[in-house]
Structure 1
Amino acid sequence: MKPLRRFRTLPVTLRVPLITAALMIILGLVASQSVLSALGRVQEARLSETAKLHIEGLSVALGPSVLRQDVWEVYDILDRARAGNEGQRLLLTVVADERGRVLAATDPRRAPVGAAAADFETGAVGPEAVRMTGDPVLRVTALLQYQGRTIGAIVTELDVTDLLAERRNVTLWLLFGNAMATVVLAFGGWLAVARILRPVGALVQAMDASGGAPRPIPETEIPQGDPGLARLIATYNQMTTAVEERAEAERRLADRERFVSLGRLSSSLAHEVNNPLGGLLNAADTIHTYADRPEVVRQSAELMQRGLGHLRDVTRAILDQNRLDRAGQRLRPEDFEDLRLLFEPEAHSRSQLLDWQVQAGAGALSGHPAAPVRQVALNLLLNAGVAAGMHGRVGFAVSNGGETLSISVSNTGAAMTEADLARLMASGPLPPGGGVGLRLVHDIVTGLGGRLSHDRKGEQTVIRADLPAHGSDHA
């Protein structure tokens, strides 16, 4: 399975030539086996015919001499037979009498007269059963019959070295030819596939070189001769246009989301400012009416001082949140106090319980940039406040664990939808519907090298952002 899985990961320009080469190898093996089988049948037929003619001729010529036990006549007949057309293939011929003793042989030193003929019959077969076994010497045996009776036997050794060499040469030529054909066809397949997929390669290069922003392929690089690939590239060009339009729409949505957030905060802050102003006007009217009563004037002045102090705190928070020169500021504990002052009116308007815990000191906060961290915390708080609903509970906690600053925002209420989770946790295209506040949190945390996590515990949703420290220079 692993080789197959690795093969599937290879590019098409390699897989097609490899498949072609494999098919050629299989075809070559089948064709070579067929050729070698046919050659073997031809060789075996020639050998069988040679052995049959040799033994039948000897049987006719040797019958009377063997019957008379005329050794010298048998020798003479064997010499004349050996000098025939196939004499170079006959290594040894042994003639035995009816007792199984050697009567004569073409090589008397190997087969002396009177020796047992059974020693030469080992592995011998009849002329019709001769087969190529890979042995350079084959033995053929047959009974010697004369006038209807068996008077002895003939054993012949045949030299088939030349036939084996012929078979070996044919095998080498077949291997060489098949290898050359396989290489040529595989190379041709690679060229053909590479040429066919050249437009696809241009498409891949355009996507790789885009740096996250797909660029269209020029019309001159679209293959007009291939309608399928031309349609594919045209579709890709349309997709790039759609991606650019979608990115522009996302930027506009982000701007709109920021304005909506500012509008919500402005409404809450207007309510927060309006109440102290009403009290200040009442205190001023009381002082004007009871100017001759020092105790009343003093109490009204104290009320005015508390109201003006509250207005001062609200105004400072607004200035700190929207001041343009905060881009290079380091994070401070006061930043979270300002966020609390900004968010509390939102929570009070829904009668929500706010649990606020900041356990990180100034030293741990100074390694983080103020503006993006505040933006992340504010967006998470605003979304948590909406999700908690009336009489819900919102939690905000900041802690420091070594080199990591953890911001955790929790809320009761319904769980986050799949679309909201996709906006917060993923980097793909924005799902339809909704704003981009959660995606903005994702982009800021990712840009800072941090990590977001989401957890649902009972009826409480917890979102945590872990931000690594970058040092005061980076901040």
Structure 2
Amino acid sequence: MRLRRPSLPVSLRVPLLAAAAVFLFVTGTTQIALRLAGNRMDLEAERLGRVYLDGLSAAVLPAIRNGDRTALDEALDRATGFYEGIRERGLVVGTPDRRQISASGVGPEPDWDAPFLRGNPNEAWEVSPEQEAVWVQRPLKDGGEVVAILAAKLDVSAITRRRRQLRAAMLAFGLAVGVMGGALSALAARHAMRPVLGVTSALDRAGAGRIAPIPNAALPPPGTEAARLATAFNAMVAHVEERERLMRRLAERERGAVLGRLAATIAHEVRNPLAGMLTAVESAHAAGDDPAERAEALEMIERGLRQIERVVSSTLAQHRDNGPPRPLQVADLEDLRVLVGPDAARHAVRLDWTAALPEAFPVDAPPLRQAVLNLLLNAVAATPPGGRVGLEMTVEPDGVLLLAVEDEGPGLPEAARQRLAGGPAHDEASPGLGLEVVATIARRLRARIAVEPGRKGLGNRVALRVPPAGLPTDAEAVPA
């Protein structure tokens, strides 16, 4: 695994890069200036050496022309120390065939002879490895013919020492200027980035959930790019705050709409059985002691109360916590048969149960039971006497639980289909609180609802496909 190296923030990286650039520029230009100064000093020293040979050549050429060895030695001795500012270490006169004629001064070191004695009869300028001395050499011509070679070994230790001192001084000066310039450039870059860093800090706070505009006192100077950036950020914050206000208002309106729709649905579901119950009470009063009329009135009141009980139970199931989740078992379906059986008997509707559940299915059983119970009650109410209501349950090959309720009624209206699909019903007639509960529970269990025609072309087949959830099964299941 490759580890990422931690990177410096831009607030430090830019000043450091600016300081490094200034430091490198100053030290680089200092080195270039030192090199140029050194080359200039070398040229001046070489020119001085050649001027020295010009004067010395004029002093020794007559003696060489006359072949006067004594005069030649005297000329070399007189020349030693004669020129101010030049210190000779040795003067040598010889022939092109590497033969020394005369010498003066301290004499050449045995390990560094004159160039012509080492096979170089031409003009030469050679610096010693220690840069303490230099050989300057010139052929002497008489009538266009080389008659001798003059070589002078000059002491340049003082020049070399001054050159080193100058190099050290300029290097120290360059380093000092580079450090100071780098520090000043870092401060300038930091100061120039301060407005941008203020916007960055505001963005960091916004990322942490503390969205607030940049105060006017902290805004950059107007007309700058940083000021435009800060203004854009404040405008963005204003839009975000306005959007949050609108979202809160819409949420409040949505809650009000949901409560209003719930209240209207409950009122609609309760009003009809209440009207029937009131009619039954009036009939009982009018019938007096007639047992048949009284029994019919009591039966109508019982049916109304049971319908109101279903409405209340459905409302509570939609808006309360049913306790800890537990997996669905076969016993849950048998409970549904017991709950729906009396209602189906009153409507003369036959129940057809097909349930194949070899083991507990990992899904929250109580809300799923409530959803299937509402579908069964709606199917029984929609099916005419002598009809059939079927329940099919199986686990499909992909592991999804299929629960299908089929009736032989006239079919679901469009409003009910839209409500089951999770959308709003645009029909003024309510599709019933039961279907509202089914749609809510399906969304909670991540189930898919499909409304299909019945197998015989009658009624509807409402199928729920419920994916498994991470719940305990079998031995770990909580008993019903």
TM range (shorter): 0.5 to 0.7
* Farther-moved stretch of structure 1 (272-281 vs 97-106): 272-281
74, 77, 95: which one aligns with 2:75: 77
**Aligned AA (1:253):** L
Measure the CA separation in 2 of the matches of 1:320 and 1:10.
55
Distance 1:266 1:65, change over 3 A: same
> In the alignment, what sits opposite 1:253?
250
- Residue 15 of structure 1 and its aligned partner are, at CA, apart by 1.2
Q: Secondary structure at the match of 1:91?
A: strand
Which is richer in helix?
A: 1
Asked if structure 2 preserves the Cα contact closer than 8 Å seen for 1:44 and 1:131, the reply is: no
**Aligned AA (2:90):** L
Distance 1:97 1:206, change over 3 A: closer
Distance 1:346 1:60, change over 3 A: farther
**Aligned AA (1:183):** V
Q: How does 1:424-435 map to 2 (within 5 A)?
A: none
Distance 1:394 1:410, change over 3 A: farther
**Aligned AA (1:15):** V
Asked if structure 1 preserves the Cα contact closer than 8 Å seen for 2:137 and 2:150, the reply is: yes
Distance 1:182 1:31, change over 3 A: closer
Distance 1:47 1:233, change over 3 A: closer
Distance 1:163 1:48, change over 3 A: same
Measure the CA separation in 1 of the matches of 2:114 and 2:194.
79
134, 139, 142: which one aligns with 1:138: 134
What is the TM-score of this pair, normalised by structure 1? 0.57
Across the two proteins, how many residue pairs are aligned to each other?
A: 370
Distance 1:382 1:467, change over 3 A: farther
Distance 1:42 1:206, change over 3 A: closer
Distance 1:383 1:120, change over 3 A: farther
- Residue 254 of structure 1 and its aligned partner are, at CA, apart by 1.3
* Farther-moved stretch of structure 1 (146-155 vs 15-24): 15-24
> In the alignment, what sits opposite 2:366?
334
- The reply to whether residue 168 of structure 1 matches residue 167 of structure 2 is no
**Aligned AA (1:408):** R
Measure the CA separation in 2 of the matches of 1:191 and 1:464.
62
72, 91, 94: which one aligns with 1:96: 94
Q: Secondary structure at the match of 1:313?
A: helix
Structure 1 alignment gaps of length 5 or more: 349-353, 360-380, 399-405, 414-461, 470-475
53, 56, 62: which one aligns with 2:60: 62
> In the alignment, what sits opposite 1:126?
123
Distance 1:82 1:99, change over 3 A: same
* Farther-moved stretch of structure 1 (167-176 vs 94-103): 167-176
- Residue 142 of structure 1 and its aligned partner are, at CA, apart by 1.5
> In the alignment, what sits opposite 1:52?
50
215, 240, 252: which one aligns with 1:243: 240
Distance 1:260 1:307, change over 3 A: same
Larger Rg: 2
The C-alpha deviation readout for 1:392-441, integer Å capped at 9, x for no partner, is x989779xxxxxxx94244689xxxxxxxxxxxxxxxxxxxxxxxxxxxx
Q: Secondary structure at the match of 2:98?
A: coil
- The reply to whether residue 408 of structure 1 matches residue 446 of structure 2 is yes
Measure the CA separation in 2 of the matches of 1:281 and 1:218.
68
Q: Secondary structure at the match of 1:408?
A: coil
> In the alignment, what sits opposite 1:187?
183
Distance 1:168 1:343, change over 3 A: farther
- Residue 40 of structure 1 and its aligned partner are, at CA, apart by 3.5
RMSD over aligned Cα atoms:
5.6
What is the TM-score of this pair, normalised by structure 2? 0.56
Identity of aligned residues (%): 25
Structure 2 alignment gaps of length 5 or more: 327-364, 381-390, 397-417, 428-437, 452-464, 473-480
The C-alpha deviation readout for 1:232-268, integer Å capped at 9, x for no partner, is 6566555544433332221121122223334445555
- Residue 101 of structure 1 and its aligned partner are, at CA, apart by 0.9
Measure the CA separation in 2 of the matches of 1:239 and 1:389.
37
418, 423, 436: which one aligns with 1:386: 423
- Residue 226 of structure 1 and its aligned partner are, at CA, apart by 4.2
* Farther-moved stretch of structure 1 (281-290 vs 241-250): 281-290
The C-alpha deviation readout for 1:32-52, integer Å capped at 9, x for no partner, is 424632x23532332233222
Distance 1:89 1:277, change over 3 A: farther
